[in-house]
Amino acid sequence: MRENVKGNLAQVFSILPEARVADAVSATLQRLKADKAANRAVLKWCDFDQSGRFLRGGVSDLTDYIVRIVSRPQDDPDLAEMAREAADGVAEPGRLICSADRERFTLFLPDMLSTAEALPTPIVRGFVIDMAVFTRIHLSFQAASRLTEAERRVAFQLLAGISLREAASIDGVSVETKRSQVKNVTTKMQCAGQTDLVRLLMGQLSIVRSLADNEARHAAYAEAFVKGRLGLGASLTAERLPNGRLLRCIEAGPADGRPIVVLHGMMFGMLLSGVGPYLETARLRLLMPLRQGYLDTRPLLDLRTSNRLIAESLKDLAAFIENRGLKPAILLGHSLGAMLAWHFAVKNPTMVDRLILLSINTAGSDRSRGNYKDRLYDGYKTLGESMSLSRAITFEFSRHYPDENAAREILNRMFADSPADIAAMTGEGIAADVFGWFPELYQSSISGISEDYDFTMSNRPLDSSVAKRSLFIHGSEDPLTSISEIEALARRTSSASFHTIAGAGHFAAASHADEVWKTVAEFVADDRYSATGNSRNLEG
């Protein structure tokens, strides 16, 4: 069984540069092993008011970006100990308390509790720092220093206030060995001495505030991405739905344009980047709710329960349509999001007036061709029944995409059959250079991408009318899903029209933006939309 898994993983990762395949397979198998708490970076934290009263706590997994908010400190022994210290009056800002076993320490830092309804209030935030958390933070700032495990340990011990003599006794080595390790650390980290080293490490440690606060800052991250990566014309709004949930929505196009609700896929930057002028001409306004798991640095608990993120996001979509007064809405599904849009329209017929399916990615596989894309999807399908495997694969890819050279090779392999897509990815047309923004999007969208693949692999299009009227727009050279497959899907729906964009690949919205949005505008404006240009009615 293990050999079968290894072979299927090698198939999935064949899209990576060849030299990285074996490493990716090995790392993924390691990730699938039973969790060893000592090897995982888990940051535990608590907030207290100035009297030492517990306000809230959390357990943040820095490996999987998951947080569990804790309302009762007694639910976790480390948080309970921290709460006792705070109640005893020792939780003073700036205080560091080392544990009895010298394997972790508690650091108390000053902070402010701020809400929209009240003035900022001073609080104290406590953090439990162990070797795994220290290592994760150190590698974020000083990976180039290449400290050995023993050198990182002595740096941790110095930071915890443990003397070299005690550290030597704990680790069963000589004091001279510890002194030699400290000397190596100060040299590698370019510090003048031990005091300078501790000062530097303590400064880096202040990032724990941000690591613990990710849950509250996820909307700000998405806002920065939209502003920095998608260019002018796109903005982020946040609104409370009637059910109390917070929904983030990217909007683009003129404020008075015809509203179109968008269900996005994993590369939605190709749909939105630089699209403003074309939407202005077409008088369209895109409203794209960010689904859970996308641009979502807010740590979430139990992300990989079956289709939970998708189910909750589709519920949010229905609430959003109602809340904005858009019912029945014009719904556009893009790439992997097109499959979700299809299912939403079938399951919620009164919510959708018209459906537009743009560059559908069915995640199909043709084993006879054996190219990188087909091996990727075929491998995903073979492994798809295991949620842990699917998640591990998605996390493994996140380790390679930040390397621009690797990302370029992966994406060029995926879209090698479409010259239009290759050009669009380098920034031709309206899209910003993909290699500048996709690695960032991928790393912050691991959960959403993983579940999208699971959903698409296990849910085929439903044999039912998807809307009163529907329009399929697809590039003639789309390398992910052939135009013949999409035309066959279109024939299964009533009142369907099909528009072929000649020469376009999967990123038709970027390479042929004028034609895409002109076609959409004509469809939403004219109840008699039928065969014009490359469009044809498939009714009957």
Q: Is residue 421 part of a domain?
A: yes
Do 154 and 224 sit in the same domain of this protein?
A: no
pLDDT score of 157:
95
Do 242 and 154 sit in the same domain of this protein?
A: no
DSSP conformation letters of 286-297:
EEEEPPTTSS--
**Domain CATH for 201:** 1.10.10.10
Q: Is residue 429 part of a domain?
A: yes
Q: Is residue 100 part of a domain?
A: no
Would the pLDDT of 218 be above 80? no
Higher pLDDT residue, 438 or 157?
A: 157
Q: Which of 205, 226, 244 is the last residue of a domain?
A: 205
pLDDT score of 495:
76
DSSP collapsed to 3 states, 133-184: HHHHHHHHHHHHHCCCHHHHHHHHHHHCCCCHHHHHHHHCCCHHHHHHHHHH
Average pLDDT, stretch 239-267? 87
Higher pLDDT residue, 193 or 28?
A: 193
pLDDT digits 0-9 by tens, 91-101: 888 899 999 99
Would the pLDDT of 1 be above 50? no
Q: Is residue 433 part of a domain?
A: yes
400 close to 16: Cβ distance less than 8 angstroms: yes
- Coil, helix or strand at residue 44: strand
Q: Is residue 82 part of a domain?
A: no
pLDDT score of 390:
66
212 close to 127: Cβ distance less than 8 angstroms: yes
Pairing between β-strand 246-252 and β-strand 66-70 as defined by DSSP bridges = unpaired
Do 200 and 220 sit in the same domain of this protein?
A: no
Report how far apart, in Å, the C-alpha atoms of 324 and of each of 249, 329, 469 are. Answer: 12, 10, 22
pLDDT score of 204:
87
Do 442 and 318 sit in the same domain of this protein?
A: yes
What CA–CA distance (Å, rounded) separates 435 from 406?
10
The span from the first CA to the last CA of the chain, in angstroms, equals 48
What stretch of H or E contains 520? helix 513-525
Q: Provide the mean pLDDT of the chain.
A: 82
Higher pLDDT residue, 536 or 532?
A: 536
Q: Is residue 393 part of a domain?
A: no
Q: Is residue 88 part of a domain?
A: no
What CA–CA distance (Å, rounded) separates 333 from 342?
8
Do 234 and 193 sit in the same domain of this protein?
A: no
Question: What percent of the chain is modeled with pLDDT above 70?
Answer: 82
DSSP conformation letters of 61-91:
ETTTTEEEEES-GGGSHHHHHHHHHHHTT--
What CA–CA distance (Å, rounded) separates 440 from 435?
9
pLDDT score of 256:
92
pLDDT score of 282:
95
pLDDT digits 0-9 by tens, 3-58: 678 888 888 888 888 888 888 888 787 766 533 433 578 889 999 998 999 988 88
pLDDT score of 477:
94
Do 187 and 240 sit in the same domain of this protein?
A: no
Do 163 and 227 sit in the same domain of this protein?
A: no
Q: Which of 185, 205, 225 is the last residue of a domain?
A: 205
pLDDT digits 0-9 by tens, 407-458: 888 888 889 889 999 999 988 777 678 887 888 888 888 878 888 887 887 7
pLDDT score of 467:
55
The whole model's pTM is what?
0.65
pLDDT digits 0-9 by tens, 320-350: 999 889 999 999 999 999 999 999 998 898 9
Do 191 and 309 sit in the same domain of this protein?
A: no
494 close to 539: Cβ distance less than 8 angstroms: yes
Instruction: Provide φ and ψ at 146, rounded to 5°.
Output: 55, 50
| b/e burial code for range 466-502 (CB count within 10 A of at least 16 → b) | bbebbbbbbbbbbbbbbbeebbebbeebebbbbbbbe
Number of domains within the chain: 2
Domain of 163, in residue numbers: 134-205
| b/e burial code for range 200-235 (CB count within 10 A of at least 16 → b) | bbeeebeebeebbbbeeebbebbbebbeebbbebbe
- Which residue, among 427, 405, 423, has the nearest Cα to 415 in the 3D structure? 423
124 close to 92: Cβ distance less than 8 angstroms: yes
pLDDT digits 0-9 by tens, 497-520: 899 999 999 999 999 999 999 999
DSSP conformation letters of 237-279:
EEEE-TTS-EEEEEEES-TTSEEEEEE--TTTHHHHTT-HHHH
Bridge partners of 474, per DSSP, are 500
What CA–CA distance (Å, rounded) separates 483 from 475?
7
Higher pLDDT residue, 1 or 185?
A: 185
pLDDT score of 84:
92
- Coil, helix or strand at residue 12: helix
Do 436 and 301 sit in the same domain of this protein?
A: yes
Do 453 and 478 sit in the same domain of this protein?
A: yes
Q: Is residue 11 part of a domain?
A: no
Rg of the Cα trace of the chain? Answer: 26
Do 189 and 277 sit in the same domain of this protein?
A: no
Q: Which of 173, 205, 237 is the last residue of a domain?
A: 205
pLDDT score of 65:
53
Report the amino acid identity of residue 182.
Answer: V
pLDDT digits 0-9 by tens, 167-181: 999 999 999 999 999
**Domain CATH for 316:** 3.40.50.1820
Please report which confidence band the pLDDT of residue 358 belongs to, taking 50, 70 and 90 as the band edges: very high
What CA–CA distance (Å, rounded) separates 289 from 311?
14
Do 255 and 273 sit in the same domain of this protein?
A: yes
Would the pLDDT of 305 be above 50? no
